[in-house]
Amino acid sequence: MGLFSRNVVATPIAPTSDIEASLAPVNTISSIYNFYGVTGITASRAEFMSVPTCARARNIITSSVSSIPLKVRTKADGARVETPPKVINQPDPRVPGSATYAWLCEDLLLHGYAYLRTLEIYADTYRIRSAERIDPTRVAMVTNARGTEIDYYTVDGTPAPNEGVGALSVFSGNDEGILNRAGRTIKAGAELERAAVMYAREPVPTMVLKSNGTALPADRIAKLLQSWGEARRNRGTAFLNADVELQTLGFDPEKLQLNQARSYVSTELARAAGIPAFYVDAESGSSMTYSNANLARQSLVDFSLRPIMTAIEERLSMTGMPNDFVPASQEVKFDLDDYLRGSAKERVDVYKVLFDMGAITTDEIRMEEDMLG
């Protein structure tokens, strides 16, 4: 991996300050330079997902956000739009909406950017009718000579139009993505998983079988090693005659403190992903009971999900762009009522207070509890 880790390419043109001619600023230009050296800091998605802590953090964050419904409301009074555009809840008509948003959440978490490519637009309003998710690794930003403004994007090396069918809707995250920001820690976690696999295959220190007699031919040595390995996988007791001596090299997992190292890295990766360590079982002695489950869910929203949710909400609500999703008078928000709803007793207490104030009716309470019909 070279100096650039975000697929940013500077065009060989004279410096310009024409902001109106650019699509967006490059906000993370300093982060694309490797702090630890020229190579080795950026991790891959395969390395990320090979670490159980990372995979669990990814699945919790993406599945939680994608399970929360999106609602369209009017900006003037907050009234819900009863018939929102279908593209809001199912951007790609070929894929369930939850799947599309799960991948968008992953892209924001891993890369700091997510992309939807326009498939259809409405002929009268030119707003987006359908769109598909594009893997950020397929997208490159082509900037001005200073590398400060994005002139256009390319997908698979082909320039994407700035508007209409084929244009990209860019969801901007809060940083350069965990693959770039915590690449070294992810690589450490992946290497520890490889070490665990190695010691699972060879549950004792590295062994050398030394012949005390005559030199053995290669085929005899291969058969001896094969039979030794099969025997160790089937029984713990070994027998050697006087012609063969066992010598050990290296250290076992306990002496290497492999478990302690994996636990430490798991905690660091939970911090990097912005998720409480107990959610990914990276913290020993932690537990979550029914009494604090609602508070933990609220904490998850506030400290882990909110940045990603905000990036999605604000891009879907943006107006004045070449490709809009909703009119300027409307905005898109996640509906957290069901996700954060408390226990039955807590809901009854809230309903009683609202009913006594005259702020809610019996039918509205029944509707909230799905008791109609």
pLDDT in single tens digits along all 373 residues of the chain: 443 445 655 554 444 445 555 777 777 644 444 444 444 478 999 999 999 999 999 999 999 999 999 999 999 888 888 888 999 999 999 999 999 999 999 999 999 999 999 999 999 888 999 999 999 999 998 888 887 888 899 999 999 998 899 999 999 988 889 998 888 899 988 988 887 777 766 665 567 777 777 777 888 888 888 887 777 777 767 777 777 777 766 555 555 556 778 788 888 999 989 888 888 876 554 554 444 666 777 888 888 899 999 999 999 998 876 678 999 899 999 988 877 666 666 667 777 777 788 878 887 777 777 665 5
| Helix 306-317 and helix 52-67, axial crossing angle in degrees, nearest 10 | 40
Q: Same domain for 227 and 348?
A: no
> Do the Cβ atoms of 204 and 34 come closer than 8 Å?
no
Q: Same domain for 322 and 372?
A: no
Residue owning tokens 């244009």: 167
Which pLDDT score is estimated for 295? Answer: 73
Q: Same domain for 245 and 279?
A: no
Q: Is the dihedral of CA 88, 92, 96, 98 positive or negative?
A: negative
Q: Same domain for 174 and 313?
A: yes
> What CATH number did the domain enclosing 231 receive?
3.30.1120
Three-state secondary-structure class, residue 12? coil
Token code pair at residue 163: 């508007």
Which pLDDT score is estimated for 3? Answer: 39
Q: Same domain for 10 and 29?
A: yes
Q: Which domain holds residue 94?
A: 1-202+252-341
Which pLDDT score is estimated for 348? Answer: 72
CA 42 – CA 137 distance, rounded (Å): 13
Which pLDDT score is estimated for 366? Answer: 76
Question: In one letter, which amino acid is 134?
Answer: I
> Do the Cβ atoms of 27 and 170 come closer than 8 Å?
no
CA 133 – CA 156 distance, rounded (Å): 14
Which pLDDT score is estimated for 284? Answer: 52
Q: Is the dihedral of CA 169, 171, 177, 179 positive or negative?
A: negative
Final residue belonging to a domain, choices 249, 267, 282: 249
CA 314 – CA 90 distance, rounded (Å): 17
Which pLDDT score is estimated for 167? Answer: 93
- Beta bridge partner(s), residue 314: none
Spatial strand order of the sheet with 168-172 comes to: 128-134, 113-121, 168-172
Final residue belonging to a domain, choices 192, 224, 249: 249
Q: Give the chain's domain count.
A: 3
Q: Same domain for 50 and 134?
A: yes
Residue owning tokens 């697929």: 7
> How many CB atoms sit inside 10 A of residue 115's CB?
22
Final residue belonging to a domain, choices 179, 214, 249: 249
Residues written for the chain: 373
CA 373 – CA 356 distance, rounded (Å): 25
Q: Same domain for 124 and 181?
A: yes
- 123: which residues sit within 8 A by CB, 6+ positions away? none
Q: Same domain for 108 and 147?
A: yes
> Do the Cβ atoms of 131 and 118 come closer than 8 Å?
yes
Q: Same domain for 288 and 223?
A: no
Cα dist from 261 to 212, 213, 251, whole Å: 39, 42, 15
Question: In one letter, which amino acid is 335?
Answer: D
Q: Same domain for 196 and 211?
A: no
Q: What is the four-CA torsion angle of 103, 106, 107, 110, rounded to 10 degrees?
A: -160
Q: Same domain for 175 and 307?
A: yes
The string of DSSP codes covering 13-64 is: S-----GGGSSEE-TTGGGGS-TT-SSS-PPPHHHHHHSHHHHHHHHHHHHH
Q: Same domain for 176 and 293?
A: yes
Nearest to 125 by CA among 330, 326, 333, 331: 326
Token code pair at residue 123: 């002929």
Which pLDDT score is estimated for 110? Answer: 94
